[in-house]
Structures are given as structure tokens and as C-alpha cells.
Structure 1
């Protein structure tokens, strides 16, 4: 059931014309949608796959082929993450993956986290009750690793405001002090190139920048599984799943599939097509497109006298004090978020310079 490893960030670089053509064929939003940090739009091919999967169930046809979509999705994500598919587990949420990592830590272990990071990255460590969870500002997380730190857990891009963690510095600091690293790429995978092999553990939901339906998340682990115990394992986590439906699992999967959760089959049927599109477009091309739009918005904000939260290089732009305008912007057909009083705009492959200019014009009014 395990996929083939073809190398990091697979997928061709696209010309602007090809990029635009592929995007136009897949997306026709009815609003100025600048809210991918909450939910990504579904490509047309994904919607078609979801409909087809639902019909299998409605018409009583076998669902066996949907398990192929799980493995194709695992393999596609592995290529984006730059690791073999044997190191990728398919689950349902970052919180569940964090819980497995938290459960593997010994009592009293120190976990270093960033202030106001997303709850799914943090809370499982807190509910243990016997871990030392230390919290520092994001900008200080690398310098705050110290002897005795067991794990550093952080989001690559902050949900609230798009700030990027200095992951190279964090990686080096962790190595210097013997700490393990756990990075959540939920707000980065799909627009920010990344190498999961650089960290001990990574997690990512698929319904944001990866453009998938809700209900799927991925976990990457080391070849030796990093000391994790598959506490949530069911029959799909067995080396031979269909022979492991009754009684205790006799043999867990020899790959990261031992950490799989029961698969949301319809979700993976759609996600397979979404990941195909991301690979066709290429993450480097998506990154260039998204960050150019974010920079255009930052430039326009400066002309209006607004200063966003500093987040250079991010596809997410957060503007203090403007969050209360989210309802009126939504009424005007512009979808953004209100996060901690900030107006958060997230720019992705289906957005255009005209979308940016429309938001700036609305903020001028």
C-alpha cells in the first residue's frame, strides 16, 4: 500500500500562461476569496471526484477503489514533502498527530513552543499535565532552545498573522542541544516549499493551501518512527489491513502507515485530485504567485497608512485594528478573516492582482 518516492517538490515549473490556464479551468469563485488560511477552494476536478465517490456509496457499488485514492494522496504529499511515502501517515487532524507525539514524551520533558501558536500544535502537550511546556515569542524560539529541551513544537507559518518561523535557525539550535523538532506546515504546505526530512516530525492538514476537503491530515516521521507508539491504531494501521479486522492487530505496518487513522474515503478521493493540481502547477510557481500578491497588498496598505504585522515572505498578511471590518467586507463579496482583531488576507493561486486592488479599494472607503 506504500507509494513511491520521487524526490522533493515534484512537478514542473509552469509558464505564466500555462499556470493561468490551469487555474481558470479549475476555479470560478463567486466572491473575491482571500481566505485560504481558513479554507482553500476546491478545484473542479476535486468536486467531480467527490461526487463520483458519493455515487459509489449511493448506488451500492464497491468502495475498494477509494483506498487507492488514500495511497495516491499519501504518495503525492510525500513528493511535496521530500520524503518517501513510507514515512507519511494519513490521519484526520493535526491535534491527533500532536497527541501521539505528546504521549511519547517522558514525564517532566520540556517542550518549547511559540506564543499564541495554533491550539492543535500546543494543547496535547498541556493536557498531559506532567510535561514542562515553555512558551516564548516566535522570534526567540531558536535562541531559546537549551540543554534539556526535549522537543520544539511550532507552526512554520503562524495562523493568526502569517509570520514565518526561522526554521533553519531552529533546526540548527535543536541539533546543537539534542532536541527533537515538530513543525506544523498547515499554513505553509502548498505555497511554501519545504523539506520534511529536515525535521523529526511534521504535520499538515489538507483543507487549506493543499485545496482538499476537510477530514485529512498528514504526519511525517523518521525511518525508525522516532519512538512513537501508534496509540490510535486500528485495522488500517496493520501490515495486512484486510486480514486485521477482528481481534488485536497481529502485525503493525512496517511503515508510517502504522500511525494511520481510519480513512475518510470521500475526502481522500477528492484530495488526490487536489494534490495532482498542486503538483502540476508546481510549488515554486505557486509560491512566486502568492507572495507577489501579498507584497502588492503590503505596498497598497502602506499607501493607505496601514502597517501590517511584519511577515516578510509570507502569503498571509494581517493588519492590526481592521478585523472588525470583516463582516462589511463579506457583505461586499470580499472574503477575509478577523483574527485577534486583525484583518487577515491570504493569497493563493486562484487570486489575481484585481482581487488585491478590490480589497484595497474597499479599505479606502
Structure 2
């Protein structure tokens, strides 16, 4: 029987100490093989029908991971495009509540409307800041800059009490943090970070009643029968949230099919325990160095104030992390080990 470690070691052999999944996840070997096979199909002029099948396999796999039905999942290319659909559905003057310094792809579409009231508050005060005039609360489940976790249960309770919708960006959480997408109105997440896919995909979860959204980006794939919707206006939009699909990058979905298969084989609970265990090991080591990270209990991302300037030096030493606003950001994922943590601590101590 294969173990967590044996499955991981069969898929990854990084040439450095890679602690930067919050920027980009590493591609499993099976994903590289799948993308290369798809490229060969295209180069040789073979029928691409199986690659369209990959799109539906990916939709179903993400639905299982997110805890929703496939009918609630759309597939696009960016978080911002789905934020724009939500923004377009809001009436003029509606209030959108966000967390201060949340990721631009989440918050910017609401600012671009120009006639919405966008209010930003500290993440820790998000739930208590919901008020009767709040129409939407938009927040990342895990903050990109420093790994802090939003109290989504408290936000959800406050939003429901005031009749507000909830929009969650799970880009920095899906793949390591258990996700109950059905508990929220809208969820978006990219596939190139913690679920280890190639660039070019975003998952989107919307209510079965579509939540007042208009499929402004609808093309032929948004039809109930896509291949019957290639010419002229789409006569019958998909009866499911698939009406918000954007034409798929087929090579990306060939890779995602393979990546999500690995995530499901390992299991989100096991990945969560592994990732947070390594992050906690790093936090403990930082204390011995006299360093205090940004408080982010339970997160796989650790951000250390005042050490961001050491990112180039660490990269030279073969350790990949990020510099975010002067903070050193380390992100621990399934292919990392205790030795990776100890190596980072050792270089930081020198």
C-alpha cells in the first residue's frame, strides 16, 4: 500500500528547497506527462475530444474537493473575471465589505464599477463590520500576504443576519485547507497554486439559482449543448452554473486532471496536517531565533516581518520564498519536508 510519502516522492523531485507554493505550486510528474501528451496530440493533428472530456473530469474532481455538486461549478481563467460578474450584478450604491489589503484580483472589480461603496476594514473586524446596508462581503479565506485565516463562520453568520451575500477567494486555501464551498454564495479559486495545476484555470462556485448573475462572458461553451451553440446567439444557456464557463485552455485541463487525481489520492485532511505541521515547525524555530511571525495560527503560510530583504540571498542558496511588503513569506506544501524547514532556519540564523 502506498503511503503519503511514497506517493509524493514518486511525483516530485525539486532541484531546490521550494517554499513558494503561495506563488506557484510545483507540477507533479503525472501532470507534466499529461500536458506533454496533450501537446503531442495537437502537434500530430489527432482528434482533441478526450481533452474536452478532461474539462468535465476536472469539474467533477473540484466539486468533490469543494463539497458541492458539479451543477454549481463553472470553469474560467481568472478570479477577476468572476469578481466582475458579481460586481455587475450589484445595484448602484450597494456596499461591498472587504478586508484591508486583500488580494487585488478579489477586490479590484468592485472598485472598477465606480458606483459601489467599497469599504475595507481589518480582517479581524470583518464579521463585526457587517451592517444592514452591506450587500456583499468579499474576502480571501487565507490572506496572500501573510497567511492569516479569515473567520468564515463568523463572517457567514453576520452576513446572513443582515441579508448580505458572501464571496470567498479560496486561491490560497483550496488544496490544503478543507473547503465547504456550499456554505458560501460565491467561491473562486485559481488552480495553479495549492492544487498543483498549470496556469490558465479558475474554479467558480455559484448558487443553483445563479445569484442574480448575468453570464456576460458567455460563449459557445455556455450553451446547454455546447456543440450546438457555435453559431449565432446561444439559444439555450446551460441549465447549471456551467453557463458561466469560459472557453477552456485544453492543455491546462489535461494537466489539472492529473493534479487533482493526486490531491484526491492523498486527501485534503492528510495534506492539511502535513502542511500545517511544517509551518508550526518553522514558527517554533523562528522563536528560537528571536523572530515573531505575523500571527496566523493554523495556516500553511508563515510571514516574517523584517526578513523580506533576504529573499535574494535565500534564492542564491537554493531556497525559494517570497518577499511580500518587506516580509519573508514561506508556504509549506505536500512536497516539503522537515529538512526543508530546518534548512531555511539554518540559513536565516547565519
Shared fold per TM-score greater than 0.5: yes
Residue pairs, 1:35-50, within 5 angstroms: 35-50=20-35
The answer on 1:151 being equivalent to 2:140 is: no
Residue pairs, 1:19-58, within 5 angstroms: 19-58=4-43
Number of aligned positions between the proteins: 350
Which of 205, 220, 239 is equivalent to 2:205?
Answer: 220
What SS does structure 1 have at the residue aligned with 2:150?
Answer: coil
Distance, in Å, in 2 between the alignment partners of 1:308 and 1:53 is 43
Deviations 1:258-279 (A, max 9, x none): 0000100000000011001000
Residue pairs, 1:276-295, within 5 angstroms: 276-295=261-280
Distance, in Å, in 1 between the alignment partners of 2:223 and 2:85 is 17
The residue that corresponds to 1:360 in the other structure is 345
Distance, in Å, in 2 between the alignment partners of 1:272 and 1:100 is 26
The residue that corresponds to 1:61 in the other structure is 46
Which of 264, 270, 275 is equivalent to 2:255?
Answer: 270
Which of 240, 244, 266 is equivalent to 2:225?
Answer: 240
Distance, in Å, in 2 between the alignment partners of 1:22 and 1:29 is 15
Distance, in Å, in 2 between the alignment partners of 1:283 and 1:294 is 16
Offset, 1:240? 0.9
What SS does structure 1 have at the residue aligned with 2:74?
Answer: strand
Deviations 1:283-319 (A, max 9, x none): 0000000000000000000000000000000000000
What SS does structure 2 have at the residue aligned with 1:143?
Answer: helix
Distance, in Å, in 1 between the alignment partners of 2:84 and 2:259 is 27
Distance, in Å, in 2 between the alignment partners of 1:219 and 1:194 is 13
Residue pairs, 1:110-259, within 5 angstroms: 110-259=95-244
The residue that corresponds to 1:88 in the other structure is 73
Distance, in Å, in 1 between the alignment partners of 2:62 and 2:28 is 17
- What stretches of structure 1 of length at least 5 have no aligned partner? 1-14
Deviations 1:239-265 (A, max 9, x none): 011111111000000011100001000
Offset, 1:112? 0.1
Offset, 1:28? 0.3
The answer on 1:334 being equivalent to 2:350 is: no
Offset, 1:148? 1.1
The residue that corresponds to 1:10 in the other structure is none
The answer on 1:351 being equivalent to 2:336 is: yes
Distance, in Å, in 1 between the alignment partners of 2:94 and 2:204 is 22
Runs of 4+ in 1 over 3 A off after TM superposition: none
Root-mean-square deviation (CA), in Å? 0.7
- What stretches of structure 2 of length at least 5 have no aligned partner? none
What SS does structure 1 have at the residue aligned with 2:23?
Answer: coil
The answer on 1:103 being equivalent to 2:99 is: no
